[in-house]
Amino acid sequence: MKKILLASVLGLSIASAGLVEDAAKLDVKKVCDVKANGAAKVLAVAKKFNPEAIKLGVEFKRLGIRNKLYVKAVEEAIKAKKKEVVIKYTVKKKDKVKKFPLDYAAWRTCTFAVRALQLHKEADKTWRLAVPGDGYKF
Amino acid sequence: MKKKIIASLLLGSFALLSANSFSTQADKDRKALQAYFEKKFADRKNASTYFPYSTKDELDNNFKWGIKGDEFRLGSYAFDKGGRAQHDEMMDMPPFEDNIDNGKELYEKTPGMKKCFPNPAIAGDYPKFVKGKGVVTISDAIVSCAKDNKQKGWKLTKGKTADLEAYFANASKEKGKKINVVINSKEAAAAYERGKKEYYTQRGYLELSCATCHVQGAGQRVRNDILSPLFGHTTHFPVYRLKWQGLGTLERRIKGCNKNQGETPHKPGSTWTKELIYFMGYMSNGLPVDGPDIRK
């Protein structure tokens, strides 16, 4: 029983480290290039990495819109074969709607998902550089 | 008998020693942080190193130099003369007087509150690290006391909690209390270290850390604001903000800043927020409690 538990814990942490490691290896400009890869492929990248960003507490959010809303709206647009992405969200309990061109929204959600994990990993090396008395000299 | 006493004395002093050693790193960090800010704001001569983007006019005329220790509790008003003048004017008729009164009434009338907090002058003693619970901020402690006593409508960010905190802060200030955050176990030291890492980690699509603005950036202008230093940040909460038209806790302020970093903000009451506040609180250790206060 204990062994199983240990194995599953290890398995989980490996899977999680795996996604961060995977993201760290990517060239954001290339994998999120909609012209080169098509919106569906770019969306798949976002779908792969954004849940991990949420789990780690590092999901990006811009102008009141969480990245997971971009993921969802892009997916809906692709399914419906629309070139326009409609995002519904709330700011301070008020309902809002914003529209974006599909290519732009796909690129945005992909770069946000990948970059959040890359940043998370880079932090291990960079954070101490900003600490006075540690890596930050003054 | 004697042996027992000696043994327990030894044990006692050992416990004391090790209690201190858990905070060795944090004490070092705090001293370095203070030294950094005191150097940064020491005099006009250093200004071009530390404030490359500030105008000559601002540095010559708006900045006060030679800021030390306790003065940092005022945030940017410690060195921003214009902001300080406005602040002092508002403090002539503080907009939070009613909140303090209301807090006192809540303290006296809310079932269980007096039992949870026999002494109201404890604003400087939080956050605390509690074995089995982790970090407990003053807002956490108040809200869980209210919940334990089946009281409704207590939030971590504003309202009754903030009013009660205003009463506690005022009582602490009147008694001349100082910020006195304690790290007394391995677990507590680990929580502190995690909070510190998060503070200095770049996050969100803007890729900014709290430190980008409140350590390296302190003193620089962002739109209409002059950025305040981390050292002193926890001394004066809850704060009455003009933008809020009301009082808010440290949790409320941090959620706003976290959102401005371009990240889905962490919830008040999350481990992330608590440990961040633990780190921030320790950085203000030794400064006088000076809440509530006013900010733009």
Q: What is the mean pLDDT of each run of 10 residues along chain B (296 residues)?
A: 52 49 97 97 90 91 95 97 96 97 98 98 98 97 98 98 98 98 97 98 98 97 92 98 97 98 98 98 98 97
Residues of A in contact with B212 (CB under 8 A): 130
Global pTM value: 0.92
User: DSSP letters along chain A, please?
Assistant: -HHHHHHHHHHHHHHHHHHHHHHHH--HHHHT-HHHH-HHHHHHHHHHHHHHHHHTT--BEETTEEHHHHHHHHHHHHHTT-SEEEEEEEETTEEEEEEEEHHHHHHHHHHHHHHHHHHHHHHHHHGGGGSBTTTB--
Read off φ and ψ for residue B94, nearest 5 degrees: -60, 130
* Residue of higher predicted confidence among A88 and A15: A88
**Residue A92: predicted pLDDT:** 87
Instruction: Measure in Å the smallest separation between the Cα of B118 and chain A Cα atoms.
Output: 37
Is residue A46 within 8 A of residue A34, CB to CB? The reply is no
Question: If you measure CA to CA, which chain B residue comes closest to A58?
Answer: B263
What percentage of chain A reaches a pLDDT higher than 90? Answer: 86
Determine if the peptide bond prior to B127 is cis (ω within 30°). yes
Instruction: Measure in Å the smallest separation between the Cα of B62 and chain A Cα atoms.
Output: 24
Domain for residue A131, yes or no? no
Domain for residue B261, yes or no? yes
Determine whether B257 is an active site residue: yes
What percentage of chain A reaches a pLDDT higher than 70? Answer: 88
Domain for residue A132, yes or no? no
Q: Which residue of A20, A32, A56, A61 is the best one to mutate when testing the B interface, meaning the one whose CB has the most B CBs within 10 A?
A: A61
Tell if the CB–CB gap between B28 and A131 is shorter than 8 Å. no
Tell if the CB–CB gap between A123 and B201 is shorter than 8 Å. yes
Count A/B contacts: CB-CB distance under 8 Å.
Answer: 74
| A84 touches B at CB < 8 Å | no
Nearest beta carbon to residue A130 from set B40, B209, B266: B209
Asked whether residue B68 falls in the same domain as residue B132, the answer is no
Whole-angstrom distance, CA of residue B277 vs CA of residue B134 = 12
Q: Which residue of B29, B205, B257, B282 is the best one to mutate when testing the A interface, meaning the one whose CB has the most A CBs within 10 A?
A: B205
**Residue B17: predicted pLDDT:** 46
Structural domain boundaries enclosing A57: 2-124
Tell if the CB–CB gap between B197 and A127 is shorter than 8 Å. yes
Whole-angstrom distance, CA of residue B179 vs CA of residue B191 = 18
Asked whether residue B142 falls in the same domain as residue B196, the answer is no
CATH classification at residue B279 = 1.10.760.10
In this prediction the ipTM stands at: 0.89
Asked whether residue B138 falls in the same domain as residue B84, the answer is no
Residues of A in contact with B203 (CB under 8 A): 58, 119, 123
Residues of B in contact with A92 (CB under 8 A): none
Tell if the CB–CB gap between B36 and A132 is shorter than 8 Å. yes
Whole-angstrom distance, CA of residue A68 vs CA of residue A45 = 13
Nearest beta carbon to residue B264 from set A61, A127, A138: A61
Asked whether residue B146 falls in the same domain as residue B189, the answer is no
**Residue B224: predicted pLDDT:** 85
Tell if the CB–CB gap between A133 and B29 is shorter than 8 Å. yes
Is residue A60 within 8 A of residue B264, CB to CB? The reply is yes
Domain for residue A99, yes or no? yes
**Residue B46: predicted pLDDT:** 83
Residues of A in contact with B207 (CB under 8 A): 119
**Residue B18: predicted pLDDT:** 46
Is residue B151 within 8 A of residue B106, CB to CB? The reply is no
Asked whether residue B52 falls in the same domain as residue B112, the answer is no
Structural domain boundaries enclosing B290: 26-94+184-295
Domain end among B174, B192, B208: B174
Tell me the residues of chain A between 93 and 112 that have a Cβ less than 8 Å away from chain B: 112
Residue A9, pLDDT above cutoff 90: no
Tell me how many domains chain B contains: 2
